[in-house]
Amino acid sequence: GDRRDLHSFPTRRSSDLVLGALKRLSYYEILEVVAPFVPAPLIDKATSLGYRHWLMKKGEGEFRVYFSLEVEE
């Protein structure tokens, strides 16, 4: 999978980077996003575009969101 660390990017630019990476994601690939907060608007947008996600809190000020394409059965 791919990884994006959002700690050093302004919010708007980081969302654009992640959405661009999501569009290049293939089935069975996972995109890991590391952020200092829960990126709720990004999660909402990705979900509306058909991506699944799961969230893990790794420590104070570090969240990991994993995205994958929704697989139709």
Per residue in 12-33, pLDDT (tens digit) is 677 888 899 999 988 889 999 9
Separation between Cα atoms, residue 56 and residue 39, nearest integer Å: 12
The Cα 17–Cα 42 span in angstroms is 11
Q: Which residue has the higher pLDDT, 9 or 72?
A: 72
Q: What is the pLDDT of residue 45?
A: 94
Residue 10's φ and ψ, nearest 5 degrees, are: -60, 155
For 31-45, write each residue's pLDDT tens digit: 999 888 999 999 999
Taking residues 50-55, what's their average pLDDT?
Answer: 95
Pairwise pLDDT comparison (69 vs 15), residue with the higher score: 69
CA dihedral 46, 26, 30, 4 (to 10 degrees): -70
Task: Yes or no: say if 36 and 6 are a contact pair by the CB < 8 Å rule.
Answer: yes
Global pTM value: 0.79
